[in-house]
């Protein structure tokens, strides 16, 4: 059922996509919706799991609806906004999304929905297949030459395709390390919570009526999950009688911006094309929006327009990533920022809604940006 009308890449699709994660499948769905013949090859097997915070922001859900996919509340954990907790156990600030809600959803459930939609549109899905690039830009799938017009790298953060295609050069890159685990426990709030601890951030998202997804992100590759929790005592005490539902999964978390995301008949999409910090919760939404821009560019035979659109699409989450990483790196600034936001919740609300795509970056307002920046840097600012 999961293999569409083209069971072999030798059937000459218009687009051959390397990687069947959210980015690759969204590109395949949108291209198939526009009448293109598409094959997706992934070296993993369906359904693919991945360490992720599993929170889909309102703009991600809107992009998903454009793919023809809906998620009911019973398949996921709805949340109406974000709450930050400071390490001092006293400072916390929360904001609701201006419109709509977010959803926490298991990666395997999300993957199943994307795969079913792609298969329904006749996309050829090739699981457990290794793709390599030979000399002269030739693409091989399990050793067979692939004949196609466009080759898309959607092979994730560590993308081998990016290297093969000569698109590896970065504008900037910052790597952190993450771990995720699921717990059987009823959510105690309908907000996604972010606990800012000494060496990490811990994100708690509801993913069902009795399930939580907890993801830890840190600069340190050796920080253990339990040690991370011990740095957030308020959370640790809630999880005292925890029941883990699965093994922990680790991943690298990168903020990366590439110089170029396409050339010739090659293009990158999703994390392969650069990524934002997990704390933004925007990685999957970005992948969906990039996929739409890429398919549009392919339809017009104009990959350069994809480069421009890609630069624009990532602006707000890249900025937000930089703010989050600055708070991570400088405990003093972090505490200062959290106190400013707690004292002025409307500022936090604007930040959350810019990040969630509900407020244009240009509408954040120069005066708000300056006020936040000045107060974070002004040494004499007291609370």
Binding site for ligand FAD (CB under 6 A): 18-24, 41-44, 48, 50-56, 60, 130-131, 154-157, 160, 178, 180, 215, 217, 251, 253, 270-272, 275, 278, 281-285, 287
- The least distance separating ligand FAD from the CB of residue 274, rounded to whole angstroms, comes to 10
Residues in the chain: 383
146 vs 340, which CB is nearer to ligand FAD? 146
CB of 332 to ligand FAD, least distance (A): 25
C-beta closer to ligand FAD: residue 226 or 240: 226
Q: Are 15 and 31 in contact (CB under 8 A)?
A: yes
Cβ proximity to ligand FAD, 29 vs 372, nearer residue: 29
CB of 28 to ligand FAD, least distance (A): 11
Q: Write the DSSP assignment of 98-150 as a string of letters.
A: SSS-EEE--HHHHHHHHHHHHHHTT-EEEET--EEEEGGGEEEETTEEPP-SE
Q: State the minimum distance, in angstroms, from the CB of residue 317 to ligand FAD.
A: 10
Residue 178 φ/ψ, nearest 5 degrees:
-140, 155
Smaller CB separation from ligand FAD, 13 or 20: 20
Cβ at position 5, least distance to ligand FAD in Å: 21
How would you class 103 by CB atoms within 10 Å of its CB: exposed for 0-12, middle for 13-18, buried for 19 or more? buried
| Residue placing its CB nearer to ligand FAD in the complex, 291 or 297 | 291
Q: Are 291 and 40 in contact (CB under 8 A)?
A: no
* Least gap, CB of 271 to ligand FAD (angstroms): 4
| Minimum CB–partner distance for residue 130 and ligand FAD (Å) | 6
What is the nearest approach in angstroms of ligand FAD to the Cβ of residue 370? 29
Both tokens of 14, joined, read 């218009």
Q: Give the shortest CB-276-to-ligand FAD separation in angstroms.
A: 7
CA 81 from chain center: how many Å?
Answer: 17
**CB nearer to ligand FAD: pick between 4 and 20:** 20
Q: Classify 42 as helix, strand or coil.
A: strand
DSSP 223-269: --HHHHHHT-HHHHHHTTT--B-S--EEEEEEEEEES-SEETTEEE-
Q: Strand, helix or coil at 77? A: strand
Tell me if 27 sits within 8 A of 154, measured CB to CB. Answer: yes
Q: Which is nearer to ligand FAD, 17 or 347 (CB)?
A: 17
Considering beta carbons, is residue 89 or 224 the nearer one to ligand FAD?
224
**Residues sharing a CB contact under 8 Å with residue 182, sequence separation 6 or more, in sequence order:** 106, 207, 211, 212, 213, 214, 244, 245, 246
Residue 82 tokens read as: 């974000």
Question: Considering only CA atoms, which of 49, 77, 53 is closest in space to residue 215?
Answer: 53
Q: Which is nearer to ligand FAD, 18 or 262 (CB)?
A: 18
Select from 266, 315, 310, 320 the least CA-distant residue to 289: 310
């Amino acid at each position: 059922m999961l293999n569409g009308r083209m069971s072999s890449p030798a059937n000459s699709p218009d687009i051959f996509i390397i990687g069947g994660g959210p980015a690759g499948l969204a590109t395949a769905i949108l291209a198939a919706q526009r009448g293109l013949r598409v094959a997706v090859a992934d070296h993993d097997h369906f359904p693919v799991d991945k360490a992720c915070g599993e929170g889909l922001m309102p703009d991600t859900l809107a992009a998903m609806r454009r793919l023809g996919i809906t998620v009911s509340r019973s398949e996921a954990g709805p949340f109406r906004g974000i709450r930050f907790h400071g390490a001092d156990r006293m400072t916390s600030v929360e904001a609701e999304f201006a419109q709509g809600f977010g959803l926490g959803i298991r990666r395997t459930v999300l993957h199943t929905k994307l795969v079913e939609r792609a298969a329904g549109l006749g996309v050829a899905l090739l699981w457990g297949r290794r793709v390599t690039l030979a000399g002269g830009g030739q693409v091989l799938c399990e050793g067979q030459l692939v004949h196609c017009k466009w080759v898309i790298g959607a092979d994730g953060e560590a993308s081998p395709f990016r290297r093969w295609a000569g698109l590896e050069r970065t504008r900037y890159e910052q790597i952190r390390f993450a771990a995720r685990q699921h717990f059987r426990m009823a959510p105690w709030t309908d907000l996604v919570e972010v606990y800012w601890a000494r060496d990490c951030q811990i994100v708690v998202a509801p993913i069902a009526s009795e399930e939580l997804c907890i993801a830890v992100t840190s600069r340190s590759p050796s920080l253990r999950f339990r040690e991370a929790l011990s740095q957030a005592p308020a959370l640790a005490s809630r999880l005292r009688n925890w029941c883990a539902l699965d093994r922990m999964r680790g991943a690298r978390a990168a903020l990366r911006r590439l110089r170029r995301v396409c050339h010739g008949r090659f293009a990158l999409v999703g994390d392969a094309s650069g990524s934002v910090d997990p704390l933004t919760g925007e990685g999957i939404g970005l992948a969906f929006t990039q996929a739409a821009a890429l398919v549009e560019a392919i339809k017009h035979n104009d990959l350069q327009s994809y480069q421009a659109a890609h630069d624009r699409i990532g602006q707000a989450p890249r900025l937000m990533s930089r703010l989050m990483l600055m708070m991570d790196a400088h405990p003093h600034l972090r505490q200062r920022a959290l106190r400013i936001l707690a004292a002025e919740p409307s500022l936090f609300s604007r930040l959350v809604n810019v990040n969630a795509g509900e407020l244009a970056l240009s509408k954040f307002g120069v005066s708000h940006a300056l006020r936040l920046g000045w107060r974070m840097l002004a040494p004499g600012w007291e609370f």
